[in-house]
Amino acid sequence: SIPPFPDANLFNLKPPSIMGQAMRMMKYPHAENEINAITGAIITGDSIHPPIPLRWHRLDDGVMGGKSITTHSAGGKGGDKGEEWLHFSGTINTDGGGFTSVRAPISLIPEDTEAIAVRYRGDGKTYKVLLSNGKPAGPFSNNVSWQADLPTCIREGGDGDGADNEKSYSSWEEATLPLSSFIPSFGGRVNKKESLVLVPTEQRQIGLMLSLYRSDGS
């Protein structure tokens, strides 16, 4: 609870930190971020499904008034298979939030999909892979976001600051994330009460996140 200011009345402002957070929420450029999305990190497809380019936009805790910073860029090809890559990094600020992420809309995931394979180079941090129906999923939303941890490594002798020092990045790795391992979350709150099942055909957005907590809330 917020203690009232002395001589508080109907026209008093809230404490500055709360007002500042509310103003940042109101000014958050959600629509602008989507318009300025960049193409990178394609879904490679298979013999039946063609490659799908993804358009990534940033979505961080600024949407709830936080101060964390998301940066992302794309270009060139990486890995021994020559895939187009996406570079994502974030700086977490715990004042009013605690996450950075990038999201991309996706078309229909085949019903028989059992896992997602991710090729990446890491900086020693644990990121999260996200799946959702693409609708707003704030703290008071009923829309579930599915999350799976993606631990990364750094090169031997690296300093763990891969966002600023590419020499710290690991070599290209690949992780297979079974859909059954994704944990349901509502606005960052891990669901521990209901028995929910991830339905591939309902997912319309994929994301990468760096946050204070892992997928299980730890």
Question: Which residue in this structure is represented by tokens 């910073």?
Answer: 69
Distance separating alpha carbons of residues 124 and 168, to the nearest angstrom = 9
Q: How confident is the model at residue 49 (pLDDT cuts 50, 70, 90)?
A: low
pTM, two decimals, is 0.79
pLDDT tens, position by position, 107-121: 878 889 999 999 888
Question: Which residue in this structure is represented by tokens 């600020």?
Answer: 93
Question: Which residue in this structure is represented by tokens 């958050």?
Answer: 28
Handedness of CA 35, 213, 191, 201 (dihedral sign): positive
Distance separating alpha carbons of residues 195 and 202, to the nearest angstrom = 17
Handedness of CA 176, 182, 185, 190 (dihedral sign): negative
18: Cβ–Cβ under 8 A, 6 or more apart, which residues? 2
pLDDT tens, position by position, 129-179: 999 999 876 656 678 899 999 999 886 655 544 444 555 566 888 999 999
- pLDDT at res. 102: 95
